[in-house]
Amino acid sequence: MVRHKDRADRATVEGVLDPRTRRILDRLMSNGYLHSMQGCISTGKEANVYHEEEEEELEVAIKIFKTSILVFKDREKYVMGDYRFRKGYSKNPRRMVSLWAEKEFRNLKRMYLAGVPCPRPLLFRSHVLIMEFLGEGGEAAPKLKDVKLDGQSWQESYRQTFLIMRLLFHDCKLVHGDLSEYNLVYVRRKVMVIDVGQSVGPDHPCSLEFLRKDAVNVRNFFSSKGIPVLPLRSFFELVVSPSLSEETEEAAKEEETDQQRSGQPLTRTEEAEHDVEEGVFLCSSFPQRLADFKDAEREIEKLAEGREGQDFRNYGVMTGM
């Protein structure tokens, strides 16, 4: 049985262990998948995470999603637009939460097999997900927002985060969709990604908007650490570019360190130009087919005249044109 120190029928233990959840956990223990739960290591809006140390010294994390539909009402867009789950989508609260747990399990499995640094998924039952524990001795690995690093280590973490996003996009066919310093953890000098229930495939109608938001979050966080970072559009284009040549990487590195080498801050004119360019990118759309343009022929003419619009540039980056 699941061990509790408080009253047996407490409505929830930290908001998620209702009688139905306890029955699921009891069955997992009866079948030998779990032995005990040793305490809550993380609480969140959508789920709580518990720690368990197996007899073979394998530490696992037990993620239990909260079964209130209010928690997930703003998450419908991530499921409804994902072709893998369209048929399974339901307004039923319990079905919705179970679907979310399944979605995270399948995303983690795809990522782990592709070599993305993330916890190894083990199994899920209904709204309970069991995965590899990231940490040591029952102490969860710190989130990136909580670690203290020197400049060189922050720069390396920035590089690792970029590679995670690129691996997700090209090898896993996924966009995280909620990437930030809150769901990146730091384990033995290595950045690892967690919380991927909302991650979607590139065919999701909002996938590239989600990716742009991820890029903004990553840029803002690492920029706050005082290290040189790529302009937002350059970073985004490097993530989605079908091929990443050595020349492209070198150009990116040079662009990233130009300001650092000069030792001079941007002038007001340069700042204004940068803000305008970034504003245009933030407001641009991401057409994935020529049919998505109102006047594709005119866009091609503009390209030949050297007057490429941002939307067409986005299309070119996505298609490798």
Candidates 178, 203, 214, 295; catalytic one: 178
For residue 221, tell me if it sits in a domain.
no
Looking at residue 262, its pLDDT comes to 46
Q: Collapse the DSSP code of 125 into the 3-class scheme (helix H, G, I; strand E, B; otherwise coil) and give the result.
A: strand
pLDDT digit string, tens, across residues 304-317? 555 555 544 544 44
For residue 121, tell me if it sits in a domain.
yes
**How far apart are the C-alpha atoms of 122 and 300, rounded to whole Å?**
49
For residue 48, tell me if it sits in a domain.
yes
Looking at residue 110, its pLDDT comes to 97
For residue 35, tell me if it sits in a domain.
yes
59: containing domain: 19-138
Structure tokens at 123: 């199994």
Q: Report residue 34 CA to chain centroid gap.
A: 28
Candidates 146, 150, 195, 292; catalytic one: 195
Q: Is 178 a catalytic residue?
A: yes
**How far apart are the C-alpha atoms of 130 and 128, rounded to whole Å?**
7
pLDDT digit string, tens, across residues 181-216? 999 999 999 999 999 999 999 888 889 999 999 999
pLDDT beneath 70, residues of the chain: 1-16, 54-57, 68-77, 79-91, 93, 244-276, 285-321
Looking at residue 94, its pLDDT comes to 74
Looking at residue 182, its pLDDT comes to 96
Looking at residue 123, its pLDDT comes to 95
Q: Is 195 a catalytic residue?
A: yes
DSSP H stretches of helix in the chain: 19-30, 69-72, 76-80, 93-114, 151-170, 207-223, 232-240, 246-262, 268-283, 296-304, 310-319
As for how many domains the chain has, the answer is 1
Looking at residue 297, its pLDDT comes to 57
Looking at residue 292, its pLDDT comes to 55
Residue 81 belongs to domain with CATH number: 3.30.200.20
Sequence-distant (≥ 6) Cβ neighbours of residue 170 within 8 angstroms: 242
For residue 42, tell me if it sits in a domain.
yes
Looking at residue 89, its pLDDT comes to 57
Looking at residue 99, its pLDDT comes to 85
List the beta bridge partners of residue 175: 200
